[in-house]
A and B are shown apart, each in its own frame.
Chain A
Amino acid sequence: MLNKEDFTYFSSYLIGKAAEDRGIEVKKIFKQGELSKDDALQLDYKGHQEFVIYQVTSKNSNIAQRIQKNKALSKYVLRKAGIKVAKGSIFDHTEKDQIIKYCKEIKYPVVLKPLAGKHGTKVFIGINSDQKLEQALQQYGGKYRTVMVEKEFSGKEYRIFATNEKFVAATYRVPANVQGDGIHTIKELIQFKNKDPRRGSGHKKSLVKIRVDKQLVNFLDSQKKKLTTVLKKDEIIYLRKTSNLSTGGDSYDVTDIVHPEVKKLAVKIVQSVPGLAYSGIDYMTKDISTAPTDRNYIIVELNGSPMISMHHIPYSGKERNVAGAIIDQLFPETVKK
């Protein structure tokens, strides 16, 4: 039996657990941190052997993974397949004048993100003036020289997990937030929320503790709130701009309400990247229960190593066995007909 505590990533544990449930022999091939912080599993079933490292399986091609990771390349591939992506362009962070000119052309608000980045690092949204643009640009440089400038799309952020054969699950992601009760301060409400045993640090659990840092205090300040402010009953305050779960966001399972055409689209998206077997699709739309049109959605990005734990243990809603779908692909012989 696998022990959750031995894993760096909860998602890796879930894949191992799903394999065990299928009668596959699972061995962790090295101890946590011994060689790498990645979790590595060896799976054996009647002479069929597979390795899983981190959340990477032998099913996705290296070329497919590199297409997903390169934001410019993945947008190019999706657009060619007739899938909607945000209008945007790439610049060096020092090309201030060209960037301002481009923003005038596509019109504010815009989003800035590094060409190579993950977990929402250096992503700035809601930029609606030259001044804010210049401020955001100052945050780039070093490892993050190349900036992607995109027209902001307004909508909710969903994460869809799909394979090249089927739609599996969808989650609605909300930025870190607290809800008032008329008695406690924001700081106390954060502390209460962090007591939830489903919240951990890093990628140990499916939800992440909300960290009180400078960025959070600044964001509160922009809403004329402080950590000591007492919120009215049922008043909801967002603590971050972006909905990344890794910065304390919440996940709501919405699998059952996804429009059938969105499900088809998700499979088409995975199929549009050569060599891709499954992906975590960042899907933005106002309402995922309506059919996609040319204007009502965009694909923000594709994730090759998605945090599948968000589907297994959502903040709210039904639990979905995404790891099971990954095992279906790896060991089709174990799927019950």
Chain B
Amino acid sequence: MKLSPYRLLIKKAAKARGVKFSNFDPFGKFQYLQKGKKKILIDSSRPMETSHLAYRISDKKELTNFILRRHKISVPDQIKCKEYKEAVSFLKKHKDIVVKPGDSSLGKGVTVHIRTIPQLKKAFTEAKKHSKAKVIVVEKFIYGDDYRVSVVDFKKVYALQRIPAFVDGDGKYTVEKLIDIKNAIKLTYKKDIKKDKTTKQVLRKQGMTLNSVPKEGQRVFLREIANVAVGGTSVDATDIMHPKVKETAIKIAKVLKLPVAGIDLMTKDIKKPGGAVIEVNSRPHIIMHHYPHVGKPRDPAGDIIDMIFKD
């Protein structure tokens, strides 16, 4: 059976620490980690210690938002909509919003930076397509850069900036050629920038096409969402993160009782305190910290193994 890259990462970290890694079931869902008498299960980056309750709270975006707010952690204003008209009045109040399914992952069905009714209408339909429970969440759009802050064992914290897919112009090549050049650079956990419908739409919003030639030094974004899986760039920011940001991340993991947590943070400057928590993942793709495109690689998988076998 072929293991996913996320599980291979755990396997590698386990082996390096003399921990036995084996399959638990014939379906490849869960794996055993064993050292001495201790034998526990792991599901990619989510250890057995993560309770079903903690999973359930982090899986429901509106519940995470509610509980974090109760603990005085900055989160965007948000409502759950049953009907489209609730989203309309939310847009009127906040002017610039995000629409997302209440229960999906990996940015599926999410539209950001919505300012008009036609944009809202389209986004609402899109979000509905990706929500099993047909729960739509609308929240105020927070300006800033997109960071993933991962916490292991309520003490180790790693930060990574995610920049939406982009190319930098040189005054000579077309956007299409620049994409090809960038895609030719192969790195672990670096995905190709797509030349699909969404890319064309994002270009059109900037008055460009794939055939446009951007000026030298001009940065052209090809996606609105900072997702590495669709060609985004990742930059390690662990060392520059403000101590308050780190403190808040640990507090979030404690409040939600998540031994491994991936926090999506929007902030204008991670070197300063502040920002808002968009969502929290109970099985984060920690692989992005192991292979940042820019900056120092980190080892959260090793920390997870150390956490499990600390005693």
What is the interface of chain A, defined by CB distance below 8 A to chain B?
29-30, 35-36, 40, 51-54, 56-67, 70, 72-73, 76-77, 274-275, 304
For B257, list chain A residues within 8 Å (CB): 58
> Given A58-B54, A62-B282, A63-B46, does the pair A30, B66 have CB atoms closer than 8 Å?
yes
Please state if A62 and B54 are interface contacts (CB–CB under 8 Å).
yes
Distance between Cα atoms of A73 and B43 in the complex (Å): 14
Is B229 positioned at the interface, with any CB of A under 8 Å from its CB? Answer: no
Taking a contact as CB atoms under 8 Å apart, the answer to whether A36 and B48 are in contact is no
- Provided the pairs A53-B53, A62-B50 are in contact, do residues A274 and B27 lie with their beta carbons within 8 angstroms? no
Max chain B C-beta neighbours (<10 A), residue from A35, A54, A73: A35
A66 to B49, CA, bound (A): 14
- Contacts A61-B50, A62-B50, A274-B41: A73 and B29 contacting too (C-beta < 8 A)? yes
The answer to whether A57 and B53 touch (CB under 8 A), given A63-B30, A76-B25, is yes
CB of B41 within 8 A of CB of A65, answer: no
Chain B positions within 8 Å of A54 at CB level: 56
Contact B66 A62 (CB under 8 A): no
* Residue from A62, A73, A274 whose CB has the most chain B CB atoms within 10 Å: A62
Shortest distance in angstroms between A118's beta carbon and chain B's nearest beta carbon?
14
- CB of B37 within 8 A of chain A? no
Give, as a whole number of angstroms, the nearest-CB distance from A80 to chain B. 9
Could you tell me the distance between the alpha carbons of A275 and B52 in the complex, rounded to whole angstroms? Answer: 10
Tally the A-B contacts, defined by beta carbons under 8 Å. Answer: 78
Q: Are A35 and B29 within 8 A (Cβ)?
A: no
Q: Is B57 an interface residue (CB 8 A)?
A: yes
Q: How far is the CA of A60 from the CA of B48 in the complex (A)?
A: 9
**Interface of B toward A, CB cutoff 8 Å:** 24-27, 29-30, 40-43, 46, 48-57, 60, 62-63, 66-67, 70, 80, 257, 282
- 8 A–B pairs (Cβ distance < 8 Å), ordered by A: A29-B66, A58-B51, A60-B53, A65-B55, A66-B43, A70-B29, A72-B27, A76-B26
Q: Is the CB of B25 within 8 A of A77?
A: yes
Q: Is the CB of B62 within 8 A of A35?
A: yes
Q: Smallest Cβ distance from A89 to chain B, in angstroms? A: 13
> What 4 A-B pairs are tightest by C-beta distance, nearest first?
A65-B52, A62-B55, A58-B51, A62-B52
Taking CB atoms, residues of chain B closer than 8 Å to A62 are 43, 46, 50-52, 54-55, 282
Chain B residues with CB below 8 A from A70, complex form:
29
> Are A36 and B52 also in contact (CB < 8 A) when A58-B257, A63-B43, A77-B25 are?
no
Q: Are A60 and B52 closer than 8 Å at their CB atoms?
A: yes
Q: For residue B25, which residues in chain A have a CB less than 8 angstroms away from its CB?
A: 73, 76-77
* Shortest distance between the CB of A313 and any CB in chain B (Å): 25
> Which residues from A are CB-within-8-Å of B51?
57-62
Closest B residue, CB atoms, query A277: B51
- Whole-angstrom CA separation of A56 from B24 in the bound complex: 24
Minimum Cβ distance to chain B for residue A327 (Å): 15
Residues of chain A within 8 A of B24, CB atoms compared: 274
User: In whole Å, how far is B123's beta carbon from the nearest beta carbon of chain A?
Assistant: 21
A56 near B56 with CB under 8 A, answer yes
Q: How far is the CA of A64 from the CA of B48 in the complex (A)?
A: 8
In the complex, which residues of chain B have a beta carbon less than 8 angstroms from the beta carbon of A61? 41, 48-52
- With A and B bound together, what is the CA distance between A63 and B33 in angstroms? 14
Q: A58-B257, A61-B48, A274-B41 known; A29 and B70 CB under 8 Å?
A: yes
Chain B residues in 8 Å Cβ range of A64: 48, 52
A77: chain B residues at CB < 8 Å are 25
Inter-chain CA distance A304–B52, complex, in Å, is 10
A274-B41, A275-B41 are known contacts. Are A36 and B63 too (CB-CB below 8 A)? yes
Residues of A within 8 A of B49 (CB): 61
CA gap between A128 and B184 in the complex, in Å: 61
CA distance A30 to B24 in the complex (A): 39
Which chain A residues lie closer than 8 Å to B41 at the CB level?
61, 63, 274-275
Closest chain A residue, CB of each to CB of B66: A35
Q: Which residues of B contact A58 (CB under 8 A)?
A: 51, 53-54, 257
Measured between alpha carbons, how far is A51 from B256 in the docked complex, in Å?
10
Asked if residues A35 and B80 are in contact (CB atoms below 8 Å), the reply is yes
Q: Is the CB of B60 within 8 A of A36?
A: yes
Q: What residues of B have a CB within 8 angstroms of the CB of A56 in the complex? A: 52-53, 56
Could you tell me if B53 and A63 are in contact, using CB atoms closer than 8 angstroms?
A: no
Residues of A within 8 A of B43 (CB): 62-63, 66
Judge whether A51 and B57 touch: CB under 8 Å: yes
Query: Do A35 and B52 touch (CB < 8 A)?
Result: no
A35 touches B63 (CB 8 A): yes
Cα distance A56–B62 in the bound complex, in angstroms: 18
Report the Cα distance A275→B53, complex, angstroms: 13
Q: Specify which chain A residues have a CB less than 8 angstroms from the CB of B63 in the assembled complex.
A: 35-36, 40, 53
Closest residue of chain B to A305 (Cβ to Cβ) is B52
Chain A residues, Cβ within 8 Å of B26: 76
A56 and B63 alpha carbons, distance in the complex (Å): 14
Expressed in whole angstroms, the Cα–Cα distance for A67 and B48 within the complex equals: 12
Q: Which residues of chain A come closer than 8 Å to B55, judged between CB atoms? A: 62, 65
Chain A: which residue is nearest B58 at the CB level? A62
Give the distance in Å from the alpha carbon of A58 to the alpha carbon of B54 in the complex: 7
A198 to chain B: closest CB distance in Å? 29
Which residue in chain B gives the minimum CB-CB distance to A30? B66
Complex Cα distance A22/B251, Å? 29
Complex-state Cα separation, A65 to B43, whole angstroms: 12
- Taking CB atoms, residues of chain B closer than 8 Å to A57 are 51, 53
A42's nearest neighbour on chain B, judged by CB, is B70
Complex CA–CA separation, A61 to B25 (angstroms): 17
Task: Enumerate chain A residues within 8 angstroms of B40, measured Cβ to Cβ.
Answer: 274
Residues on A with beta carbons closer than 8 Å to the beta carbon of B53: 51-53, 56-58, 60
